[in-house]
Structures are given as structure tokens and as C-alpha cells.
Structure 1
């Protein structure tokens, strides 16, 4: 892997909110950082000086972060070509069946076939 300072990665620059702006630590607009746009020129120079002094410590891409596997930070959803994403509708019982299920659960509670847990970690005893 090449050193990111010697061969900086090419990044897509997206539009930023008015409160932020791009600044560069390397020549020819390389080693991009995002800073607050409300800083005075003096403050901006101080921030950039500190960042330039420690630019070896900055992970310029996920691949450069030591100890973190890029596969943990990224994921892919594999789909067939031409597949369109869709969202299933919420499933509900019709009102008549909901009442039947509710009555059945009440019967089970009365018969002590199971108990409702008081906490998320509590075990539910079954008979």
C-alpha cells in the first residue's frame, strides 16, 4: 500500500453546508480536510498548521486506518441485475382474528402455560 501522503487518494468533493468548507494540507489541492467556515484567517492557519504537523496520523481513507478492517466499515447488498428494491407492507391481523388471538393468549396466561417477562433478560418458564 502506498503512503497516502506521497500518493494522496482522489476524493469526490460534495457540496457542504454553509457552516463548513474544504481546506487542503497538500500541494495542488490534495489531502482534503473539512473545517468550519466561521473561523478567522488566523484560526484557520493555526488549525491547518497543527493538521499539517500531524498529517501522518490521519487516516485518509478506510484502508489507511490501522487496526480496522475495511470490511467492517463497508457493506454491499448483492442484487441481481435489473432488480428493483421494494418495501413489504406491514402485516396485520384483521380485527376478528386479532380478538381470537387475544382471547387465546389470555387463556394461556390464566392457565400459566407461560409468563410475561418483567425485563428483557428474564427467562420465561414454560410448562
Structure 2
């Protein structure tokens, strides 16, 4: 099993037979007050995931003059000529950027299609309904309505 640590990826290898014996021992010693020691365990509760950061500072460049909502980021360490060319290029091609789901045109099935690898001889099985917290339920409903309006689903 691999897992993230503060120092990179950690890896644990185990033996199923030893794990079963340990589990049986833990169950059988449960009522006897015996404590099994676990060495070299790193608790994950105090660890916050590291977010990737830009290598350099970035400049916020509006894609359209006067519209501060649609902003691109350009590296601050670029030369003035390169920075100017890049900003001009991005502004000239602003029609290829999608700022919301409604702005993304449909994709032809000739280019991409999603298929499930299922046996057609088997009948479909309905999954159990999942219950979510009210705020999550509202967020899900909003996202589904956006996708319906955009024609994605």
C-alpha cells in the first residue's frame, strides 16, 4: 500500500497470514486488557496536504480590457517582449477559452465517447440511494442543473 507522507510517498508491504494472526490475537485479547503496541505509525490527522505552488510569481492579466472577472495568469519573470507577445496571443485567441459549462460546445462521438464495459446478457442492477447532507445535496442539484442546461447530460 502506498500513501503520502511529509517526506514523499510511503510504502507498506505486508503478509496476509501475519495480518490474520494479528487480527485473531487482537480479537482474542480484547477482553483481557492487553494492549498491542504499534511502532512507527505516522498519524495523518496533523498533516495538511501540500498544494502545488507556482515556481515564480504570476501576473493577473484580464483577457478583455475592463473585465476583471476573466483573468489569465502570466509568469512575471518573462521578458517584456515575450510577455507582450504572449498576452497579445492569448487575447487574440480568447474565443477558445471556456469560462463556464455553457461555453463548451458539444464533442462529436467520433472524437470521444464513454462506454461502460458491461455484459448485455445481464440485467441492470439499481444501486442503493445515497443520502447526502443538505448543503451537499443543494450543490449536487446546482451542478446537475448546469450540466442539463449546457446539454452535457
- Does TM, scored on the shorter chain, surpass 0.5? no
TM-score category of the 2 structures, normalised to the smaller one = 0.3 to 0.5
Which structure has the larger Rg?
1
When you count strand as a share of all residues, which structure comes out higher?
Answer: 2
**What TM-score do the two structures reach when normalised by structure 1?**
0.37
